[in-house]
């Protein structure tokens, strides 16, 4: 199997896992079980991975982290809005 296929598979699964959490946070407006500091740290982490991916022009990393930043930013926004 080609390495980039593994990269895209990991990127897809790693990104998809945040979508249900973001959806639930916005649809229920209940973020009481979410840790703001933890989600902020993860937002910084995926943002740094995105910058790294852009620097080395690694498309699986870039694509995954664009979506991850969007999903986690949605969760953080919901946490701040629905305290």
The 10s digit of each residue's pLDDT in 48-68 is: 999 999 999 988 889 889 999
In this prediction, residue 18 carries a pLDDT of 87
Residue-wise pLDDT tens digits, 1-33: 788 888 888 888 888 888 999 999 989 999 999
Domain boundaries, the chain: 3-81
Report DSSP state, residue 82: T
Q: Is the pLDDT score of 46 beyond 90?
A: yes
Quote the CA–CA distance of 3 and 26 in Å, as a whole number. 36
Of 39, 41, 46, nearest in space to 80 by CA: 39
In this prediction, residue 54 carries a pLDDT of 97
Q: By three-state DSSP, how is residue 46 classified?
A: helix
pTM of the predicted model as reported, rounded to 2 decimal places: 0.84
Which residue is associated with the tokens 């998809």?
Answer: 16
Please state which CATH number belongs to domain 3-81.
Answer: 1.20.1280.290
Quote the CA–CA distance of 60 and 37 in Å, as a whole number. 27
What's the Rg (C-alpha) of the chain? 14
Tokens of 3: 């390495």
């Amino acid at each position: 199997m080609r390495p980039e296929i593994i990269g895209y598979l990991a990127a897809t699964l790693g990104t998809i896992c945040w979508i249900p959490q973001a959806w639930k946070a916005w649809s229920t407006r209940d973020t009481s079980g979410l840790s703001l500091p933890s989600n902020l740290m993860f937002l910084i982490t995926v943002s740094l991975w995105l910058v790294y991916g852009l620097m080395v022009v690694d498309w699986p990393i870039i694509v995954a982290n664009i979506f991850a930043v969007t999903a986690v930013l949605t969760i953080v926004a919901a946490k701040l809005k629905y305290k």
